[in-house]
Each structure stands twice: as C-alpha cells, then as structure tokens.
Amino acid sequence: MKKEEYEPIIYYAEGAAEQFLRRLYEFLTKRKYPEKFKKFDSIPVPHYAQPTASLLTKNTELVRIIDNKEKASRTVFQLMRHGEEKKQQLKDMGKREYS
C-alpha cells in the first residue's frame, strides 16, 4: 500500500476511510461495491447535525498546511463559503435573512 493511499486516513481527510473500505471490500470479495449501499450516500444531513463554522476551521486538511498565510486565507474562504451556504439554506427554508 502506497503512502498516498493511507496518509489521508491517518489525518482524517473527508471520505478517505470510506474510500479505503470500498477498495478493501472489492479486494477481499473480488466484486464491485454494491449499488444498494450507495443510496445511503445521498441522505441529507439534518439541520442540527450540520457542521458549524468553528468545526470547519478545525478541518484536518487546514491543520496540515504549514504556511500561516495560506492557512489563514483558506480558513477565511471556508468561513465565507459556510456563511453563504447558511444564507442559502435559510432562503430555501423560507425564513427571513438576518445580516
């Protein structure tokens, strides 16, 4: 197993463990990953279980960046994107937008 394959799992990269388990399933069973399991990938996350802005700033991919300027700019980008997503969710739910 190459370092590029297991390193994301060690650093908790999003989706890395799932991808590894799918590859492991296919290797051990010599069959493709069943479609019946893929339907669970598209289940929407309830409002109360969605990530907060604080959690997004603690993203493991951001923590691995050594350059402070790069880390700060990516963190600001994450926060801006999170704010835009929340505004869109409120708009979609029909609630009043508070600025």
Regarding whether 82 and 58 lie in a shared domain, the answer is: yes
Regarding whether 53 and 15 lie in a shared domain, the answer is: no
Regarding whether 29 and 13 lie in a shared domain, the answer is: yes
Question: What's residue 28's pLDDT?
Answer: 92
Q: What is the pTM of this model?
A: 0.51
Range of the domain at 75: 45-99
Q: Does the pLDDT of residue 25 top 50, yes or no?
A: yes
Question: What's residue 99's pLDDT?
Answer: 47
- Give residue 91's pLDDT band: very low, low, confident or very high (50, 70, 90): confident
Q: Does the pLDDT of residue 29 top 90, yes or no?
A: yes
Regarding whether 50 and 31 lie in a shared domain, the answer is: no
Helix residue ranges per DSSP H, the chain: 3-10, 16-29, 35-38, 53-57, 60-63, 68-93
Regarding whether 99 and 51 lie in a shared domain, the answer is: yes
Residue 20 near residue 9 (C-beta atoms within 8 A)? yes
Q: Name which of 11, 92, 9 is nearest 47 in CA terms.
A: 92
Regarding whether 62 and 36 lie in a shared domain, the answer is: no
Determine the 3-state secondary structure of 27 from DSSP: helix
Determine the 3-state secondary structure of 50 from DSSP: coil
Average pLDDT, the chain: 80
Exposure string of 81-90, with b = 16+ CB inside 10 Å and e = fewer, is ebeeeeeeee
More confident: 95 or 47: 47
Q: Does the pLDDT of residue 94 top 90, yes or no?
A: no
Regarding whether 16 and 59 lie in a shared domain, the answer is: no
Q: Does the pLDDT of residue 53 top 80, yes or no?
A: yes
Regarding whether 54 and 34 lie in a shared domain, the answer is: no
**Number of structural domains, the chain?**
2
